[in-house]
Amino acid sequence: MQKSIEVCLTPALLDLYSIEDRVVVVIDVLRATSSMVYGIDNGATAIIPVAQVEDCLNYANEGFLLAAERNGEVVEGYDFGNSPFSYSREKVNGKTIVLTTTNGTKALHLARNRAHQVVIGSFLNLEALCNYLRVQDKGVLLLCAGWKDKFNLEDTLFAGAVVRELRKDFTHFDDSSVAAEDLYALAKDDLRNYLHKSSHSHRLAQLNIEEDVKFCLQLNICTTIPVLIGDSLVALEVGA
Amino acid sequence: MQKSIEVCLTPALLDLYSIEDRVVVVIDVLRATSSMVYGIDNGATAIIPVAQVEDCLNYANEGFLLAAERNGEVVEGYDFGNSPFSYSREKVNGKTIVLTTTNGTKALHLARNRAHQVVIGSFLNLEALCNYLRVQDKGVLLLCAGWKDKFNLEDTLFAGAVVRELRKDFTHFDDSSVAAEDLYALAKDDLRNYLHKSSHSHRLAQLNIEEDVKFCLQLNICTTIPVLIGDSLVALEVGA
């Protein structure tokens, strides 16, 4: 069969893609999807992505951790935002987290009702993710969360890393896959240095989260793939 | 003053950009904007871009040349489509052309009412265009026409060529500018070969327009910059 990979460079373009028979990988590597992967890998029972900050309050009395980020910062009054260091085993093991972020949770919500399946990608679980996608009999859409509906470099680089890994296993690649793969080839030997050229890098430097960025650009320190089941992200049981 | 360049990778994202104080460069290098540049350079009095094929008919009795392309082919009953070879001096000198294309004229229409100024870019007039943009006191938005609202490689490469030329003259570049410039650096020594990786290349091969592609990838054979004045593209009087 023919298996295709396409890259949707921002959520604003998602309506152009047919995803009913595809696995959609949501990508917001700085920092939402990295934190999701790390949190589930560290034993979080579930992460519930919600669209609005106010939606978190619906879960206030259920004993869940409440996480809210807007414009890169923790929203006042919330347990934490989307720094991966907040998703360590000691903080999240056995817990359910309700999370809203500027870009990542929006992308998730756009894809959830139409896609065959929605999974979460980051550099932290690149290899595990690719091993999974490789053996499915489905096409793949790599959905970059971007920054407020605009293109960003970091998510595109990760999409390119996936394309590069799966080049031999898929037969059709769209133009954005080709571009993402070539950009990743340019950047891969020093992702942090390459991202210093990006506008997001300036935003992030202002937020003092250089350590977060360094953490999120690590390859393959997690083996878990979060998958959306109903309203919640949980660990995908590979082989199930 | 700070001068910025941004690249809008598809017309579907144009609403995200503030263009009221910017020069917008519409880019559809295969083949609409190349043919516009070549036609105006060859003495066409004006090119009137219209959105729909039917709109051309409003001009049927005015002695204009009628050009209509959809999905890469000349629409039946029209003088020609968007092959640059139809815009030679002997065919267009002193004539007004009414033109509709799949992507390029749509991008033009989206930008026309909001932008400070709308001009037309292609590899054929790269240097003239950059010389003009360099000395304006305006920011620039490079608007890629793409393919049916999706990203395409050829328009992005041209945007990258402009960014590369203007790197020293502007102070702010968004992430898509960085990506486009790096892709152009990869591709510039053999644009045709690079574009063979693109999906549009497959579409074009089916249309037997390899000669058109070769023509459109020539650098700087024209010195004219078409500019939108009212409803018509005419030659920009540089220095005026």
**In this predicted complex, what is the ipTM?**
0.95
pLDDT digits over A221-239, tens only?
999 999 999 999 999 998 6
pLDDT at residue A240 is higher than 70: no
Name the band, by pLDDT with cuts 50, 70 and 90, for residue B237. Answer: very high
- Tally Cβ neighbours within 10 Å of residue A183: 22
Question: By C-alpha distance, which of B143, B117, B152, B153 is closest to B225?
Answer: B117
Quote the pLDDT of residue A168: 95
Minimum Cα–Cα distance from B17: chain A residue: A150
Give CA B235 to chain center in angstroms: 14
State both tokens at A19.
């995803």
Q: For residue A186, which residues of chain B lie inside 8 Å, CB to CB? A: 182, 186
Give CA A176 to chain center in angstroms: 18
Instruction: Tell me which residue in A149, A152, A179 faces B183 most closely, judged by beta carbons.
Output: A179
Quote the pLDDT of residue A79: 86
Dihedral sign (CA B166, B170, B175, B176): negative
Question: Residues B144-165: what's their mean pLDDT?
Answer: 96
pLDDT at residue B65 is higher than 90: yes
Mean pLDDT score of chain A, rounded to an integer? 93
Name the band, by pLDDT with cuts 50, 70 and 90, for residue A51. Answer: confident
Interstrand relation of B73-74 and B139-144 (parallel, antiparallel or unpaired): unpaired
Helices A32-41 and A104-112: crossing angle in degrees, nearest 10, is: 80
Residue A204: helix, strand or coil by DSSP?
helix
Q: For residue A152, which residues of chain B lie inside 8 Å, CB to CB? A: 175
Class of domain A4-229: alpha beta
Q: Tell me which of A33 and B52 has the higher pLDDT.
A: A33
* Distance spanning both ends of chain A, measured CA to CA: 22
Minimum Cα–Cα distance from A176: chain B residue: B151
Inter-chain touch A198–B175, beta carbons under 8 Å: yes
Do B22 and B141 touch, CB atoms closer than 8 A?
A: yes
Name the band, by pLDDT with cuts 50, 70 and 90, for residue B239. Answer: low
Cα→Cα distances A183→A30, A63, A162, Å: 17, 43, 12
pLDDT digits over B3-30, tens only?
999 999 999 999 999 999 999 999 999 9
DSSP A148-190: TTB--HHHHHHHHHHHHHHTTT-SEE-HHHHHHHHHHHHHGGG
Do B210 and B202 touch, CB atoms closer than 8 A?
A: no
Quote the pLDDT of residue A103: 86
Do A158 and A7 touch, CB atoms closer than 8 A?
A: no
Residue A15: helix, strand or coil by DSSP?
helix
State both tokens at B200.
């549009």
Minimum Cα–Cα distance from A11: chain B residue: B13
Question: Residues B127-151: what's their mean pLDDT?
Answer: 97
pLDDT at residue A40 is higher than 60: yes
Q: How close A91 comes to chain B (CA, Å)?
A: 34
Quote the pLDDT of residue A203: 66
Residue keyed to tokens 């500027």: A102
Q: How close B155 comes to chain A (CA, Å)?
A: 11
Q: Beta partners for B119?
A: B25, B227
pLDDT at residue A200 is higher than 70: no
Quote the pLDDT of residue A1: 62
Instruction: Tell me which residue in A150, A153, A175 faces B200 most closely, judged by beta carbons.
Output: A175
Inter-chain touch A12–B9, beta carbons under 8 Å: no
Name the band, by pLDDT with cuts 50, 70 and 90, for residue B187. Answer: very high
Inter-chain touch B199–A175, beta carbons under 8 Å: yes
Give CA B151 to chain center in angstroms: 15
Residue among B151, B176, B190, B194 with most chain A CBs within 10 A, to mutate: B151
Quote the pLDDT of residue A201: 64
Q: Three-state secondary structure along chain B? A: CCCEEEEECCHHHHHHCCCCCEEEEEECCCCHHHHHHHHHHCCCCEEEECCCHHHHHCCCCCCCEEEEEECCEECCCCCECCCHHHHCHHHHCCCEEEEECCCHHHHHHHHHCCCCEEEEECHHHHHHHHHHHHHCCCEEEEEECCECCECCHHHHHHHHHHHHHHCCCCCEECHHHHHHHHHHHHHHHHHHHHHCCCHHHHHHHHCCCHHHHHHHCCCCCCCCCEEEECCEEEECCCCC
Q: Three-state secondary structure along A16-38? A: HCCCCCEEEEEECCCCHHHHHHH
Q: For residue B13, which residues of chain A lie inside 8 Å, CB to CB? A: 10, 12-13, 149-151
Quote the pLDDT of residue B61: 87
Mean pLDDT score of chain B, rounded to an integer? 93
For Cα atoms B44, B67, B23, give the angle at the middle one, nearest 5 degrees: 60
**Looking at the domain that runs over B4-233, which CATH code has it been given?**
3.90.1560.10
Q: How close A230 comes to chain B (CA, Å)?
A: 30
DSSP A90-142: HHHTT-EEEEE-SSHHHHHHHHHTTSSEEEEE-GGGHHHHHHHHHTSSSEEEE
Question: Residues A167-187: what's their mean pLDDT?
Answer: 96
Q: In the A/B pair of chains, how many CB contacts fall below 8 A?
A: 73
Q: Is the peptide bond before B31 cis (omega within 30 degrees of 0)?
A: yes
* Percentage, residues of chain B above pLDDT 70: 95
Quote the pLDDT of residue A61: 87
Cα→Cα distances A98→A28, A39, A106, B132, Å: 17, 12, 14, 52
